[in-house]
């Protein structure tokens, strides 16, 4: 994977997070304001890391993207576990649990892509 492709990946990942936040909010506007705020905040931040990687960011961009995405993986792991447990207990959380799980999968895929591209990012242009 090249620096250009990981930059584009992270821009896409950022848009993915924004869309997931919007979908989460649209599914339950009264209770899902945090989905909109976190999706938008971390989506914009991830897109910024993508632009930074495209523009030649090396280890600082790589570390920023990696730490942010690891934080999201941890958060989505915890939130999806809690949502699936609530669903198993009879609460109507199927949509939320599914959406958070999809966001976890997208975040894990982004970490894998970032690791695969780290050599290309750190090379001198």
Dist CA 26 CA 46 (whole Å):
22
113 Cβ contact list (under 8 Å, min separation 6): 1, 6, 9
Instruction: Write out pLDDT tens, residues 49-107.
Output: 999 999 988 889 999 999 999 999 999 999 999 999 999 999 999 999 999 999 999 99
């Amino acid at each position: 994977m090249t620096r250009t492709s990981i930059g584009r990946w992270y821009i896409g990942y950022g848009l993915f997070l924004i869309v997931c936040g919007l979908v989460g909010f649209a599914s339950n506007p009264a209770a899902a304001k945090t989905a909109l705020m976190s999706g938008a905040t971390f989506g914009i931040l991830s897109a910024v890391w993508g632009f930074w990687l495209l523009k030649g960011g090396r280890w600082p961009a790589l570390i920023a993207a990696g730490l942010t995405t690891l934080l999201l993986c941890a958060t989505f792991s915890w939130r999806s576990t809690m949502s699936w447990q609530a669903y198993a207990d009879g609460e109507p959380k199927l949509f939320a649990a599914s959406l958070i799980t999809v966001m976890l999968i997208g975040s894990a895929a982004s970490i894998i892509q970032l690791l695969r591209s780290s050599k290309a990012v750190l090379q001198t242009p």
